[in-house]
C-alpha cells in the first residue's frame, strides 16, 4: 500500500507517520511506501520498514497535486491546512491552501481516476474540523446539525467537506471527512492559541510547571487525545465506504467535560500538588472567544461506525502521561 | 442605484429585470442603470426609465468579474448557474460556473471593497437552492437541518453559501443567499426536467392541453410562483442585513402540497374539464428521482424576516392565470 500524507510535519501528521512506521501496515495491508508533504520537510522517520520520502511543497501550488497523484497512492491522508487563526488574518492564504489546495488534490485524483478508466479509486481521509459549526448550538450538537461556520477556516473546511462528498458520490475516489474535536493534551510548549489553556492546565502541572486558567471552571468542551486522532485516521483509512453512505463527513467522538471536571481528573491521576499549580487568571478576551465554541457532540454516526475516543478525561490524562512523559509524572 | 444581474436571460432573471423596469426603483431607491449578463444576450427591456445594457458573457471567464465590479454596482443579483441536470452530466462545467464563477464574482467585489477602503460594500443576492439538502429528511425540514447535497449542483451551491456568509462576515459585501423552492407554475413549454410535471399538470390544462402525471397523487413538494421568486429577490435586496445575523442563507417559504392537492386546487379555480386533461401515466424512473426530493420546509427564519410566498396552491394557480394568461382560462 502506497501512502501519501499532506501536512505530514504537523502534530497529528507526524504522529500518524510515526504510527505507520511502528505498525508497518494499515488494516492488515503492508505499507510499501510513504510520501510526506508539508511546507517544511517532515524530517526523518526512524524504524520504518518501507520506503519513506519527504518533500517540502505547498498544496496551493497548482502543479504539485498532479505530480503527487501520478504515483497513484492507495491512501491519501490530507491534513495540510492553514489553521484557524492564520486563515482569519490572511484571507487569501486561507482560501488558497484550504479551498484551492484541497480542490487541486481532489481534481488531480479525479484526473488519474479518469485516466485509469475508473480503476484508480483511492481512499482519501480529509481532516475537517468542528469549526464547520457556529454558535448558537443545541446541546448536545446532533449529527444532523447544520453547518454554520463563523470563521474563514470553517467555511473553507465546509467547502472541502462538500467537494469530498461529491467527488466520492461520482466515484472519483472514496473519501471520508473527519471533524476533529479539540486535541488535548496537546504536546509541546504553551502557545498563543485561544484554546491553549485546555491543554496547558494538564500538561504543565504534570511536569511541575505553573499553568494559567483564563476561563471559569464551568466552561465545557469536547476533547480527544493525539492518540485518538491517529486512531480516527487509521479507522477512516480502512472502514468500508459502503457502510458510511452518502454523508461522508463525520463528527468524531470525544470526551465532553467542564474545565472543573478536567481539573478533577488531573487531581485523581496526579494529585493535589499538580492541581495547585493551576493559577486562575480570568481573561475577558479568551472568555468571549470560548463562549462561541461548541460544547458537546453526539457523534452517534461515528461511534456506530466504530470510531473510538477516550471514555473519560482521566483516560486522556493517562494517555498523555504514557505517550509523552514515558509514564512518569512530576517535574 | 446601479444594478447588476447575472443569469439575466433565465426565467427568473428576465422576470426580475422586467419588474425593475416596471417599478423603476428598489426599496424606494430609483434604479439608474441595469447591466444584464448571461451566456446569451438577455434581449430588450421595454419600458425601463433607466440605462439598460446587456452583455453575452460567461462568469466562468476569470476576466469578467473584475471588469463588471469596476463599475461598483450597488446591488448584485447573482443568478447565473449551470442547472442541476447539466452540472451532473458535465462535472467540469458545473464546478467552473457554479463554484469558480461565484468565487470570481465574490473575489472581484472584495477587491473593489479593499480598493475603496471599505466604502464599497454592495448588497449581493445569491440564488441558492433546496438542492443543498439531501434525503433522508425530517418532515418538515427545519432551518437548522444540515446541508447534505446529493448532486454536484447542490454541492456547488452549498460552497457558494459558505463563501457568501464568510465574505459577508468579513465585511467585503453584504450578502443574502436564497434557497428557492421549486418554481411552479413554470411558464413556457413542457420540458424534460424530472420536476416538469409539477408545472405541466397545471399549465397545460389551463390552456386546454393534455398533461402527463408520472407520479402518484401522494407525492408532496414545496412550490412558489415566479412572482414570489422575484419578490424574494426584491426583499433580499432591501432587507436590513443586521436583522439577518451571521446565518446569511435562508430557505424560502412556499406552499407544501401533495400532487392530489395541486389537482384539487386546479379543479376549484378552473373546473373539472381542466382536471380531466391530466392523464395518469406512472413513470418508475421519475417516481424514483422524486422520492429523494425534500417535501416541506419550515422556512421559519425567512417568514420572520418578511419573505412572503403564496398561502395556498389555489393562489399559485391564480397567479399563473394573472401573470401568464392575461387572466383568462381555456384553450
- The closest CB to that of B147, out of A91, A134, A147, belongs to A147
Closest CA to B27 of B236, B306, B248: B236
* pLDDT score, position B63: 98
Q: Are residues B198 and B129 in the same domain?
A: no
Q: Which of B87, B136, B148, B248 is the best substitution to test chain A (most A C-beta atoms within 10 A)?
A: B148
Residue B243, domain CATH: 3.40.50.720
Closest CA to A75 of A157, A180, A178, A176: A176
* pLDDT score, position B50: 97
Which pairing describes strands A211-213 and A174-180: parallel, antiparallel, or unpaired? unpaired
- pLDDT tens by residue, chain A, 331 residues: 999 999 999 999 999 999 999 999 999 999 999 999 999 998 889 999 999 999 999 999 999 999 999 999 999 999 999 988 899 999 999 999 999 999 999 999 999 999 999 999 999 999 999 999 998 999 999 998 989 999 999 999 999 999 999 999 999 999 999 999 999 999 998 877 788 999 999 999 999 999 999 999 999 999 999 999 999 999 999 999 999 999 999 999 999 999 999 999 999 999 999 999 999 999 999 998 898 889 999 999 999 999 999 999 999 999 999 999 999 987 5
pTM of the model: 0.95
Q: Does residue A157 belong to any structural domain of this protein?
A: yes
Helix (H, G, I), strand (E, B) or coil at A29: strand
Q: Does residue B272 belong to any structural domain of this protein?
A: yes
Residue contact B165–A159, C-beta within 8 A = no
* pLDDT score, position B62: 97
Convert the pLDDT of each residue in B89-104 to its tens digit.
999 999 999 999 999 9
Q: Are residues B62 and B162 in the same domain?
A: yes
Residue B331 has pLDDT above 70, yes or no: no
Q: Are residues A235 and A136 in the same domain?
A: yes
* pLDDT score, position A75: 98
Q: Does residue A132 belong to any structural domain of this protein?
A: yes
Q: Which domain holds residue A284?
A: 196-222+254-295+311-324
Q: Are residues B155 and B218 in the same domain?
A: no
Helix (H, G, I), strand (E, B) or coil at A282: coil
Closest CA to B79 of B245, B226, B296: B226
B163 at interface of A, judged by CB pairs closer than 8 A: yes
A327 at interface of B, judged by CB pairs closer than 8 A: no
Convert the pLDDT of each residue in B247-265 to its tens digit.
999 999 999 999 999 999 9
The number of folded domains in chain A is 2
Residue contact B163–A147, C-beta within 8 A = no
Let me know how long chain A is: 331
Specify whether B120 is catalytic.
no
Q: Does residue B170 belong to any structural domain of this protein?
A: yes
A66 at interface of B, judged by CB pairs closer than 8 A: no
CA-based nearest residue in chain A for residue B147: A146
Q: Does residue B304 belong to any structural domain of this protein?
A: no
Q: Are residues A218 and A235 in the same domain?
A: no
DSSP string, A184-233: SSPPSS--S-TTHHHHHHHHHHHTT--EEE-S-TT-EEEEE-HHHHHHHH
Phi, psi of A305 (to 5 degrees): -85, 0
Residue contact A155–B148, C-beta within 8 A = no
Convert the pLDDT of each residue in B22-40 to its tens digit.
999 999 999 999 999 999 9
Convert the pLDDT of each residue in B173-198 to its tens digit.
999 999 999 999 999 988 777 899 99
CA-based nearest residue in chain B for residue A160: B159
Which pairing describes strands A25-26 and A29-30: parallel, antiparallel, or unpaired? antiparallel
Q: Which of A89, A92, A166 is the best substitution to test chain B (most B C-beta atoms within 10 A)?
A: A166
Dihedral of the alpha carbons of B185, B188, B192, B196, in degrees to the nearest 10: 10
* pLDDT score, position B330: 75
Distance CA B8, CA B80 (A): 7
* pLDDT score, position A190: 81
Calculate mean pLDDT across residues B126-146: 93
Residue contact B134–A246, C-beta within 8 A = yes
Alpha-carbon distance values, A292 to A295, B53, B167, B171 (Å): 9, 46, 19, 20
Q: Does residue B19 belong to any structural domain of this protein?
A: yes
Q: Are residues A86 and A33 in the same domain?
A: yes
Better pLDDT: B84 or A323: A323
Closest CA to B100 of B151, B63, B148: B63
A92 at interface of B, judged by CB pairs closer than 8 A: no
Q: Does residue A331 belong to any structural domain of this protein?
A: no
Residue A203, domain CATH: 3.90.25.10
Q: Are residues A71 and A157 in the same domain?
A: yes
Which pairing describes strands A211-213 and A278-280: parallel, antiparallel, or unpaired? parallel
Convert the pLDDT of each residue in B194-228 to its tens digit.
899 999 999 999 999 999 999 999 999 999 999 99
The shortest C-alpha distance from A29 to chain B (Å) reads: 32
How many degrees, rounded to 5, is the angle at CA B300 between CA B296 and CA B306? 120
Q: Does residue A126 belong to any structural domain of this protein?
A: yes
* pLDDT score, position B193: 79
Convert the pLDDT of each residue in B50-59 to its tens digit.
999 999 999 9
- Whether the CB-CB separation of A198 and A260 falls below 8 Å is answered with no
Q: What is the mean pLDDT of chain B?
A: 96
Residue contact B146–A149, C-beta within 8 A = no
Q: Are residues A140 and A260 in the same domain?
A: no
b/e sequence A17-52, b meaning 16+ C-beta within 10 Å: beebbeeeebeeeebebbbbbbbeebeebeebebeb
Distance CA A305, CA A222 (A): 19
Q: Are residues B207 and B62 in the same domain?
A: no
Calculate mean pLDDT across residues B44-67: 96
Q: Are residues B198 and B275 in the same domain?
A: yes
Q: Are residues B217 and B129 in the same domain?
A: no
Q: Are residues A92 and A230 in the same domain?
A: yes
Amino acid at each position: 500500500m502506497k501512502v501519501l500524507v499532506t501536512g505530514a510535519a504537523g502534530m497529528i501528521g507526524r504522529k500518524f507517520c510515526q504510527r505507520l512506521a511502528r505498525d508497518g501496515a494499515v488494516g492488515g495491508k503492508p505499507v510499501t511506501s510513504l510520501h510526506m508533504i508539508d511546507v517544511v520537510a517532515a524530517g526523518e522517520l526512524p524504524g520504518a520498514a518501507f520506503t519513506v520520502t519527504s518533500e517540502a511543497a505547498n498544496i496551493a501550488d497548482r502543479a504539485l497535486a498532479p505530480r503527487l497523484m501520478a504515483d497513484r497512492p492507495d491512501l491519501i491522508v490530507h491534513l495540510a491546512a492553514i489553521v484557524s487563526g492564520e486563515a482569519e488574518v490572511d484571507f487569501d492564504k486561507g482560501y488558497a491552501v484550504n479551498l484551492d489546495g484541497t480542490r487541486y488534490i481532489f481534481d488531480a485524483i479525479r484526473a488519474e481516476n479518469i485516466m485509469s478508466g475508473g480503476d484508480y479509486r483511492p481512499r482519501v481521509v480529509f481532516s475537517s474540523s468542528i469549526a464547520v459549526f457556529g454558535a448558537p448550538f443545541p446541546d448536545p450538537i446532533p449529527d444532523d446539525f447544520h453547518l454554520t461556520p463563523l470563521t474563514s477556516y470553517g467555511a473553507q473546511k465546509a467547502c472541502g467537506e462538500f467537494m469530498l462528498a461529491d467527488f466520492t458520490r461520482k466515484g472519483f475516489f472514496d473519501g471520508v471527512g473527519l471533524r476533529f474535536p479539540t486535541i488535548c493534551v496537546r504536546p509541546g510548549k504553551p502557545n498563543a492559541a485561544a484554546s491553549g489553556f485546555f491543554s496547558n492546565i494538564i500538561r504543565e502541572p504534570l511536569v511541575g510547571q505553573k499553568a494559567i486558567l483564563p476561563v471559569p471552571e464551568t466552561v465545557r468542551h469536547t476533547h480527544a487525545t493525539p492518540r485518538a486522532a491517529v486512531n480516527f485516521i487509521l479507522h477512516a483509512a480502512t472502514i468500508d465506504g459502503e457502510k458510511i453512505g452518502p454523508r461522508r463527513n463525520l463528527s468524531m467522538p470525544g470526551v465532553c467535560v467542564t474545565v472543573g471536571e478536567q481539573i478533577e481528573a488531573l487531581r485523581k491521576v496526579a494529585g493535589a500538588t499538580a492541581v495547585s499549580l493551576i493559577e486562575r487568571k480570568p481573561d475577558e478576551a479568551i472568555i468571549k472567544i470560548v463562549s462561541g465554541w461548541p460544547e458537546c457532540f453526539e457523534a452517534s454516526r461515528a461511534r456506530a461506525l466504530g470510531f473510538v475516543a477516550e471514555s473519560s478525561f482521566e483516560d486522556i490524562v493517562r494517555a498523555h502521561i504514557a505517550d509523552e512523559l514515558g509514564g512518569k509524572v512530576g517535574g
